[in-house]
Structure 1
Amino acid sequence: MSITKMKLVSISTDESNYEEMLKRCETSKYLHAENATSIVNEDNAGRVLSVENVYSDYVNTLKNIGHSIGFEMKSKPTIDKTYTNEEIEAFLKNVEEQFKVVSDSVESNSLTSDDEIALETLRVLDFTSMHDCQYISFGMGRLPIESVKKLNLIQDTKFITAKLHQTSQYQWIVYATSNTHVREAKKMFDGLYLEEIKIPTVDSKKIIAQYEEELTNVYTYCEERNRLYSLHQYVAIFENHYVVTGFVPTSDVDKFKAEFNGVDVKVEPHNPDDAPQLTPPTLLKNNWFFRPFEMFVTMYSLPAYRDIDPTVFVGLTYCLLFGIMFGDLGQGFLLVLAGLFLEKKSRNKLAGIVGRVGLTSMFFGFMYGSVFGNEEILIPVHQGLFNVHEKLINVMDGNFTMTLLITAVVIGAVLILTTMLINMYVQIKRKKWGELLFSQNGVAGFVFYGFILVAVGMTMINPGLNMLTPAWLIPFIGVPIVLFFFKEPLTHLMEGKSIKPHGGWGNFCLETFFEVFEILLSFVTNSMSYLRVGGFVLSHAGMMLVVMTLVEMTGNAGPVVFVIGNLFVMALEGLIVGIQTLRLEYYEMFSRYFEGGGKKFILISSDN
């Protein structure tokens, strides 16, 4: 439930072993490699390994050849042969000449799968031999089934036909006739609506078969060399040492070293602070329950390496708010089953989130006494457990509405204060003392907002207590507002900079006045934003009330209406509540403590 700690590693060897070192790096399960240009500078007298990669062109040429003749290029697991550049270029020139005939003679893109089957049957006659005949002409095509019946009635010794393939709509035939009668035969077949298919001049499959093994071998070799050359961007050269630098999870350093056993390669771990020009990548580490919520965090922005991972807080608050707004024991149970099933089957993080919010939906559904919209079935249970007259929380009770809305605002206020505390912790880690002390999300904002909440709460509890006196207002309201106003110059003062604003004090005061006004207004709007939590509780209960009313009105069709109504509410209300909860996470919470801007941890094997 944190950001994985990283070690900076340098992997070095000499010129004779650097390719083997790169092969081990490429298959590593632990290495995030850094581009060599980030390592090399004038001070260390290093240089980047720069070798022209001709293999990329070879690979593209081979793919184009394969595409033109309908042959899919695939690499073998291992290389059977090695080739010089001259051998590869001579081979490519040869196959391009050979396959130009194939690609010109085969219109594979215009042939259907049934056409291919017919050609396969015709192949036994040898396409080349058919074209070389001096006195006999051949033709093939597909006839409509209705025309086949007419063809069978024609008795003509000037041509013969043979069936190649048939479907419910067409029959593919080949016909042979003498050169003397070829025009007459073509005219007759045109009258039968024969759709002519050109007979290839060469048998492409035979030619492809001749070159298939060598094509695969050359492609495998070129693809492997191309991948290896693409890794050169990570290699820096210092004197005679070839060095790859990157980051490895601290817990996996020993496993990473073991990947180079048997090779003359030196692996040295370092503290990330030893290379301040490099930003360590972020790899989130959370347990099974919270891992799916990483999706929401990364959608906003990946946290920086030295910041905090908000995934656990996001998971807890998202489940809490969703459960409150979508409280139904039965529907929550279905969300759990569907979400966990889809997560296991497809590894979908969104499905995992659905399964987890279903748990809190079940909990609050039990507290509301709601099961698939039925508000009465749990009354005996509540009476026995909580010793209440009907239910512990009756959402549909009109007298409960104001309590619900006030509770929603209180929950929002608690979450706002919590995010302020998180922000203060983050600013301490970043050593940004001005943001910690003077910002609306720092100490000043916490004191200001916290006092307002305490004052309102105490007034409601004890109306005779007056906290709106100068003794309270000056230190808890006046001082924070002054700190908001002079945050920038005070921060500069703490950092030893000039406190005079760049645009002069006049412009500063005018701009800051409106900024402070916006800050004060945002405290109100942010708090009121949580009213939607109570609103959606009422909305969900209202929609289910409509469903249950329709069930009663439809008589025998009631069970069908009950099922369809519940599914409809789950889909519509669940989607809306999910979006609104995410909005609260992003706009009311993330904006107070989370900056993001982290660099994703990418294995060199997947990056390549």
Structure 2
Amino acid sequence: MKWRESLWPVRMARVAVVAPADSLRDALALVADAGVVEIDPGLERRDGQGGAAPVPPRSPAGRARPAILPSAPDLRRLAELNRLDLLEGEARLEERAAGAVRRGHVAALAGWTPRAACPGLAARLADVGAALVRLPHPRGVEAPSLLPGEDRRESLRGSLVPLVATYGAVPYADLDPTPLAWAAYVLMFGIMFGDAGHGLILLAAGAALLAGRPRTLSRWRRAWPFVLGAGVTSTIFGVLYGEFFGPTGVVPRLWLAPLDSPVELLVYAVGLGTVLLAGAYAIAIANRWREGGWSATLYEPSGISGASVFAGIGGLAAGIALALPAVAVAGAVVAVAGLLLAFTGFLAGAGGGGTGVMEAVVELFDLVVRLGANVVSFARLAAFGLTHAALAAIVWSGTAALWRHGGALAAVAVVVFAAGTAVTFSLEALVAGVQALRLEYYELFSRLFRTQGRTFRPWHIPMTAEEVDTSCPQT
């Protein structure tokens, strides 16, 4: 895959599966086995009088995992063999065939498939006299979204997809933020969970998940990039903070101690939030352009208007704080320009008139308030970083006090350290994970996506390779 193709959802093609009516079943079997086509729902076959032909009844094997054979079997023989999986597969093929559009001796079904899958599927269909026909993209219809790697769950890119997919389907026109979203997530996690000792535990856990160990946790294997990435950032910030299972002095402090410099940490946290919001606005502007052209780009709150207000207020604040009048004036001008653009968009959306003006004013006020709240919200990075450091310090101070007395209390100190570390690690890992996710979804993703897309759901029934004797038994 070229790097440019990885910037947005997989490019889709509008296609039609066209086959002679008498070989439609075999063509559909190949399509089902390939599992790369999402067939449009709701298509109905028309009979000679123009009415809709009834859909065949489902097989009694409604709960069997369906499978299909390369060619049409004898259904009575399958029932005698109690092959419920094959009966279910044939029932589903018949349902799809009933939805085909028929003209004379030709039948067709329309749908979507990844462009890269077209040549291979077309070659398979040619073996049964069918064809895959490219159709123009219908106006006003959004193609389904499939993120790069989403169909390869065990790949690195596929393991990152749930972070975005849990929020919602990325619109087909939008950029795919998956790699950047993962990087922002593990970075924010590391700031809140900065401890080299705890980070090394996460690194070991991530490596174990990647290796598929233990087997009882194999269903969580896809989480390895998050655990491993969180371990790396936690270890790095632990070294920067001078934290190794608390303030043990094992690693030197390279930057600041959270408990000694809480205000400084708070400023850096808000500064990082400002940078992340700026990046979110940059991606959002590109999305608005791809979705709706200049009008959406200029007037949407997540477009140029909102970004101008954000940048203008930031420039105004920086100019005042640094005593730079030119910067402050420039920031004020940019902010006012952004407010005017946003007001115009709100007024147009409200329909104009006096009521529209009032609604636009309220929306404008809400825009400014939300911007401020979004920036301040990143202060939680510092707050939970301080909480983590405080809990680790309490555990270490208690351990050290018991250890100094020696004797039996030294053994108690070991127990206190192990239990306290386990509680601190579990509690703070959960809190940091949830808070990083909250910042990702509410502060960043809410700007990236104006609407949600539609997930690509290909039709798939595996074709069995086993030989099944479906011939009628001899009497």
Report TM bin, short chain: 0.7 to 0.9
Task: Name the amino acid aligned to 1:250.
Answer: R
Q: Identify which of 74, 86, 95 aligns with 1:82.
A: 74
2:101 is matched with: 236
Residues 269-314 of structure 1, C-alpha deviation per residue, up to 9 Å, x if partnerless?
A: 345x2x3365322111159545333212111110111211121221
1:452 is matched with: 313
Residues 552-585 of structure 1, C-alpha deviation per residue, up to 9 Å, x if partnerless?
A: 2332222232222222112100101111111111
- Residue 466, structure 1, aligned to residue 321, structure 2: no
1:280 is matched with: 143
- Residue 327, structure 1, aligned to residue 194, structure 2: yes
- Residue 430, structure 1, aligned to residue 291, structure 2: yes
- Residue 301, structure 1, aligned to residue 147, structure 2: no
Q: Secondary structure at the match of 1:17?
A: helix
Shift of 1:225: 3.0
Q: Distance in 2 between matches of 1:311 and 1:358?
A: 19
Q: Is the 8 A contact 2:280 2:448 kept in 1?
A: yes
- Residue 394, structure 1, aligned to residue 256, structure 2: yes
Q: Is the 8 A contact 1:48 1:233 kept in 2?
A: no
Q: Is the 8 A contact 1:36 1:233 kept in 2?
A: no
Q: Identify which of 432, 436, 442 aligns with 1:581.
A: 436
Task: Name the amino acid aligned to 2:415.
Answer: V
Q: 1:76 to 1:433 in 2, by over 3 A?
A: closer
- Residue 545, structure 1, aligned to residue 393, structure 2: yes
Q: 1:357 to 1:231 in 2, by over 3 A?
A: same
Task: Name the amino acid aligned to 1:8.
Answer: R
Task: Name the amino acid aligned to 1:556.
Answer: A
Q: Secondary structure at the match of 1:605?
A: coil
Shift of 1:233: 5.2
Q: Identify which of 34, 44, 48 aligns with 2:40.
A: 34
After superposition, where does 1:40-189 map in structure 2 within 5 Å?
Answer: 50-56=53-59, 58-59=60-61, 82=74
Q: Distance in 1 between matches of 2:98 and 2:426?
A: 49
Q: Distance in 2 between matches of 1:77 and 1:483?
A: 61
1:572 is matched with: 427
After superposition, where does 1:489-500 map in structure 2 within 5 Å?
Answer: 489=347
Task: Name the amino acid aligned to 2:291.
Answer: R
More displaced 10-residue stretch of structure 1: 435-444 or 297-306:
435-444
Q: How many residues in Structure 1 have an aligned counterpart in Structure 2?
A: 439
1:376 is matched with: 249
Shift of 1:476: 2.6
Task: Name the amino acid aligned to 2:56.
Answer: N
Shift of 1:545: 0.1
- Residue 521, structure 1, aligned to residue 384, structure 2: no
Q: Identify which of 450, 463, 487 aligns with 2:345.
A: 487
Q: 1:355 to 1:606 in 2, by over 3 A?
A: farther
Q: Distance in 2 between matches of 1:247 and 1:74?
A: 22
TM-score w.r.t. structure 2 length? 0.82
RMSD between aligned alpha carbons? 3.4
Q: Distance in 1 between matches of 2:457 and 2:73?
A: 32
Task: Name the amino acid aligned to 2:124.
Answer: E
Shift of 1:315: 0.7
Task: Name the amino acid aligned to 2:37.
Answer: L
- Residue 476, structure 1, aligned to residue 334, structure 2: yes
TM-score w.r.t. structure 1 length? 0.65
Provide structure 1 residue ranges, at least 5 long, that are not aligned to the other structure.
64-71, 89-212, 380-390, 493-500
Q: Is the 8 A contact 2:10 2:145 kept in 1?
A: yes
Task: Name the amino acid aligned to 1:355.
Answer: L
- Residue 421, structure 1, aligned to residue 282, structure 2: yes
1:194 is matched with: none
1:24 is matched with: 30
Q: 1:528 to 1:305 in 2, by over 3 A?
A: same
From the two aligned structures, give the one with the greater strand fraction: 1
Q: Is the 8 A contact 1:73 1:216 kept in 2?
A: no
Q: Distance in 1 between matches of 2:164 and 2:233?
A: 20
Q: Is the 8 A contact 1:327 1:363 kept in 2?
A: yes
Q: Is the 8 A contact 2:26 2:72 kept in 1?
A: no
Residues 244-269 of structure 1, C-alpha deviation per residue, up to 9 Å, x if partnerless?
A: 22222222222212332521112223
- Residue 359, structure 1, aligned to residue 232, structure 2: yes
More displaced 10-residue stretch of structure 1: 316-325 or 449-458:
449-458
Q: Distance in 1 between matches of 2:28 and 2:195?
A: 56
Q: Identify which of 578, 593, 599 aligns with 2:448.
A: 593
Q: Distance in 1 between matches of 2:456 and 2:74?
A: 34
Q: 1:446 to 1:401 in 2, by over 3 A?
A: same
1:292 is matched with: 159
Task: Name the amino acid aligned to 1:481.
Answer: L
What is the percent sequence identity of the aligned residues? 23
Provide structure 2 residue ranges, at least 5 long, that are not aligned to the other structure.
1-5, 213-217, 403-409, 464-475
Q: Distance in 2 between matches of 1:438 and 1:75?
A: 52
1:532 is matched with: 380
Shift of 1:449: 2.2
1:104 is matched with: none
More displaced 10-residue stretch of structure 1: 4-13 or 451-460:
451-460
After superposition, where does 1:247-262 map in structure 2 within 5 Å?
Answer: 247-262=112-127
Q: 1:472 to 1:8 in 2, by over 3 A?
A: closer
Q: Secondary structure at the match of 1:431?
A: helix
Q: Distance in 1 between matches of 2:161 and 2:379?
A: 27
Which one has the largest radius of gyration? Answer: 1
Shift of 1:79: 9.5
Q: 1:542 to 1:254 in 2, by over 3 A?
A: same
Q: Distance in 1 between matches of 2:126 and 2:70?
A: 20
Q: Secondary structure at the match of 1:602?
A: coil
Q: Secondary structure at the match of 1:394?
A: coil
